[in-house]
Copies of this chain bind each other. A is one copy, B any other.
């Protein structure tokens, strides 16, 4: 959930998702669409993979990536339902860092 939003925070990664929306592409195909170095794109793909937004499959020497739209949709639905249809009072219960004076 958090990983999905973090993955979406980068414009390069959103562009990758957009390209992947229709056709699946190899890592090389994707890299050719950007002026960034291949290792950089590989890193972005790793983030998308960790967020479960894409799936990858090896075909011979190439790795084919394809979009997992369902995960993206689900993340949005989670946010949307928390946002619009949430039950009741928002009086302090959603703290991300509960009382633990770590620092």
Contact = CB atoms under 8 A, between A and B. Distances in A.
Nearest to A17: B83
Contacts of A92: 19, 32-33
A71 to B, nearest CB: 12
Contacts of A14: 5, 79
Q: How many copies does the complex hold?
A: 2
Contacts of A98: 35
A11 B96 contact: yes
A2 to B, nearest CB: 6
Interface of A: 2, 5-6, 8-9, 11-12, 14-15, 17-23, 25, 32-36, 69, 72, 76, 79-80, 82-84, 86, 89-92, 94-101
